[in-house]
Structure 1
């Protein structure tokens, strides 16, 4: 198949062709139309309710004694849209006149074939529930943010897969989207009247879409009115620029929060650390510009001042900037410096937290970091000072106390010094330790042992990887398993 950029014999770019479609997705407007539902089963009730939700007048053909409890409840319930009309009889060839759609729940293939033939003869699109051989169309799985409606179909091959896809899409589309879509319909005429075609209208709708996917409900028509004024006044750039600090978690894409995914989907530019996985970046919208601004010990890195200046410049240009950091943005991610700089420059900034590496370490070893039999406190400590040496600003005697759990971030190159300092402050040499790199990723590596062995354990995992060190009694079982040669199982689902 030709793609954009392919050229024919004359050197002209050929248009990309549509890939084969198993079915053609269509959306029927059934408001006020007559819909046929043959059957009184639970399955028929579900389809009848779906048709009525579109505003159709649904005529149910089934003897009263054949109605299920679900169908009876549906027929008796008050409705906001559409109508449900019960005919105490079986369907017949005389019922199809003027119908827009016909659905049946047929027990046998013979009844299904008869219903399908009668509907087709009357020129009415037909579906027989769970009998695809007699269907001209399928319902698929629906994500309802009406008037935004998403239909998902697998051509009948894998309905459960379709439901899984629906759940994934629902996480990206906040319930408030329906209110924004209704607002869009109300302001469309004003946008056409007040904004010139091209860039002004595009600026309005792009900013409007960002707000619609933000998760908050619109303040009646006020949001659209204010946005219209901004675009008319040429303020769409400065008014729209903002920065969101997003925690990417330990690495696995499914550990992102829903809010983080929505932020990635709305971003114009993403400034990301080199610890952020490719799977997470794949969740961003395709048009977003991606810029690596990673900082790693022992490697060429971007200066924090340069990152701050880049964020400010992009936001002032009207861009929606996501600063994507591994783990949680508020834990050893220098977010404080970035927030302070953005506030000084008057740039709107918000924070989306993520799962920190300490939590991922607990999952990897299957422990509670604050198990009350082993730990009365939890300390998160950076192993490096600003000068790159072992930090002297922390309370080492307190860290060496029993009945505490300490997690050292970025501690690989300091492993020997950490061991020596903790033992010098009185910590027992046999205290359990747990070490891991690339937590929650396919190449995750983890080892457990005793404090005296810490440098050797770290060297085994590799100093060139982002390493997390846990110290404390909560890792006792993992240390014992390591001594017996039994691996501990990762708990990521």
Structure 2
């Protein structure tokens, strides 16, 4: 039986799903807008209209302090003119649009009807029945403007979405968009339609999303164009060392968020939390390159070679490290290796565990009545023992706060050496595991550090703080737990 053949055919285009509202962008430059009302909310609407280039006539008999302040300061564009009287139908003639903040339902209906009578789109604040359009949350990277609407159902959700976009969209996008407006006609004159233009704009966009302003590449249009043209032969990607902080995803910097969102490949440490990884670009390939004391770990040389290989393939690589990459993170070795291979490297700092410890306990590491310096010290060498060559006399200085990293297994030895160097056995000490993620906490004196370390969960990383600044934390734990030597979850 012969199999029937099917010829290629064009599929029907997908259907656009339902839109609660049509998103449009209204040009108000040098056009007249009417605003009725003098409340703080009305002041915000007036500022928004003026920022869009409108000449705003404000009708308010008793303007609020916020409105008065706006009028004194002026808008970002357009103009603001106050009329200290009520509104009438005549003020709506020749207006591009009208906005009113009116409490009375009948007056709101009358205002909307008057606007409709002269063909003016109208918005009555918080009264959807009398609105031809709505104001949404705005992300301003003008000329890039992003409007967010929830159809009035969840304004707080709209604001949260705006904040999320704000974190991901670097402010320099505004200057690149302005630059594109000047380039557009020139590109259309010199590049034929199709692939040539598309390739140009793809290179342009790649530069725009690197988080640097056009002026970074030169102070004239020609130098920036040369930079874009030079990308033709670029085959090397780049590596960004990103500090993931102590684990709480909300402690990430905006720059770290943007790096995660632009990565092709993410090489992450064993200690990086799932919450942080959830913020990465979905399409990015994730590879664990775990390095944990006392456990099977990836060799540093293998990590260096992997970063180099991926970058030479043109990938945007993020090396995601817990804490800050430049503090006990072997970043120096990685940077040196990559630079020898001709691979560009960026570094995005993160909150190191020592700073997160201070914040979690509410302790100033350099409280002026107790400490004039702070030291970050590694508590473990490659051998698993205390590092040789530490300045124990300096670490025993009573005016110094010392933070020991990777010191869970050497806590007892640290206490012994500090006491030998002259520290009081009653000097306060703290030990926290998985700092910023609500795990175990202990506080007491250095004589009991070894005892506490033996009773900790050995699968969790700990950080140790020693110094007079921890006295209050030790007392608080004693009151909270009933005994200064007990371990337990943080409150």
Same fold (TM over 0.5): yes
Q: Which residue is 1:446 aligned to?
A: 441
- Corresponding residue SS for 2:195: coil
Query: In structure 1, which of residues 112, 135, 138 is the aligned counterpart of residue 134 of structure 2?
Result: 138
Query: In structure 2, which of residues 310, 314, 319 is the aligned counterpart of residue 318 of structure 1?
Result: 314
Does 1:475 find its partner at 2:473?
A: no
Q: Which residue is 1:254 aligned to?
A: 250
Does 1:349 find its partner at 2:345?
A: yes
Q: Which residue is 2:102 aligned to?
A: 106
Q: Cα gap change, 1:16/1:302 in structure 2, threshold over 3 Å: closer, same or farther? A: farther
Mapping of residues 388-467 of structure 1, within 5 Å: 388-441=384-437, 443-467=438-462
- The CA deviation at 1:473 is 2.2
**Which runs of no fewer than 5 residues in structure 2 stay unpaired?**
1-10
The answer to whether the 8 Å contact 2:47/2:75 transfers is no
Q: Which residue is 1:7 aligned to?
A: none
Aligned counterparts of 2:270 and 2:47: Cα–Cα separation in 1:
50
Aligned counterparts of 2:451 and 2:213: Cα–Cα separation in 1:
48
Q: Spell out, residue by residue over 1:19-65, the C-alpha distance to the aligned partner (whole angstroms, 9 max, x if none).
A: 876544332233354534344655445423422332335455x48x5
Q: Which residue is 1:227 aligned to?
A: 227
Q: Cα gap change, 1:133/1:461 in structure 2, threshold over 3 Å: closer, same or farther? A: farther
Q: Cα gap change, 1:154/1:300 in structure 2, threshold over 3 Å: closer, same or farther? A: same
The answer to whether the 8 Å contact 1:35/1:56 transfers is yes
- The CA deviation at 1:181 is 0.8
Aligned counterparts of 1:381 and 1:131: Cα–Cα separation in 2:
61
Q: Which residue is 1:208 aligned to?
A: 207
Q: Which residue is 2:52 aligned to?
A: 54
Aligned counterparts of 2:167 and 2:458: Cα–Cα separation in 1:
38
- Corresponding residue SS for 1:51: helix
- Corresponding residue SS for 2:342: coil
Aligned counterparts of 2:111 and 2:73: Cα–Cα separation in 1:
28
- The CA deviation at 1:387 is 2.7
- The CA deviation at 1:84 is 5.5
- The CA deviation at 1:273 is 1.2
Q: Which residue is 1:35 aligned to?
A: 33
Normalised TM-score (structure 1): 0.82
Aligned counterparts of 2:118 and 2:93: Cα–Cα separation in 1:
7
Worse-superposed segment, 302-311 or 222-231: 222-231
Aligned counterparts of 1:313 and 1:177: Cα–Cα separation in 2:
30
The answer to whether the 8 Å contact 1:191/1:228 transfers is no
Q: Which residue is 1:5 aligned to?
A: none
Q: Cα gap change, 1:464/1:119 in structure 2, threshold over 3 Å: closer, same or farther? A: same
Cα RMSD after superposing both structures: 3.6
Q: Spell out, residue by residue over 1:373-419, the C-alpha distance to the aligned partner (whole angstroms, 9 max, x if none).
A: 43343222112212333211312343344443221111112223333
- The CA deviation at 1:353 is 1.8
In the alignment of these two chains, the number of paired residues is: 471
Q: Which residue is 2:8 aligned to?
A: none
Aligned counterparts of 1:250 and 1:476: Cα–Cα separation in 2:
23
- Corresponding residue SS for 1:237: coil
The answer to whether the 8 Å contact 1:249/1:356 transfers is yes
- Corresponding residue SS for 1:461: coil
Aligned counterparts of 1:281 and 1:145: Cα–Cα separation in 2:
27
Does 1:301 find its partner at 2:300?
A: no
- The CA deviation at 1:457 is 1.7
Q: Which residue is 2:112 aligned to?
A: 116
Q: Cα gap change, 1:253/1:14 in structure 2, threshold over 3 Å: closer, same or farther? A: farther
Q: Which residue is 1:274 aligned to?
A: 270
- Corresponding residue SS for 1:294: coil
Q: Spell out, residue by residue over 1:181-239, the C-alpha distance to the aligned partner (whole angstroms, 9 max, x if none).
A: 1112222345564485287346414412323x3367554425640233124xx31323x
Aligned counterparts of 1:68 and 1:477: Cα–Cα separation in 2:
47
- The CA deviation at 1:458 is 2.3
Mapping of residues 58-207 of structure 1, within 5 Å: 58-60=56-58, 62=59, 81-82=77-78, 91-93=87-89, 99-157=95-153, 159=155, 162-163=158-159, 165-191=161-187, 193-194=190-191, 197=195, 200-201=199-200, 203-207=202-206
- The CA deviation at 1:174 is 3.9
Q: Spell out, residue by residue over 1:55-87, the C-alpha distance to the aligned partner (whole angstroms, 9 max, x if none).
A: 335455x48x56677767877887774455777
Aligned counterparts of 1:276 and 1:68: Cα–Cα separation in 2:
49
The answer to whether the 8 Å contact 2:170/2:209 transfers is no
Q: Cα gap change, 1:317/1:376 in structure 2, threshold over 3 Å: closer, same or farther? A: same
- Corresponding residue SS for 1:433: strand
Q: Cα gap change, 1:413/1:40 in structure 2, threshold over 3 Å: closer, same or farther? A: closer
Aligned counterparts of 2:243 and 2:280: Cα–Cα separation in 1:
14
**Which runs of no fewer than 5 residues in structure 1 stay unpaired?**
1-12
The answer to whether the 8 Å contact 1:126/1:137 transfers is yes
Q: Cα gap change, 1:194/1:419 in structure 2, threshold over 3 Å: closer, same or farther? A: same
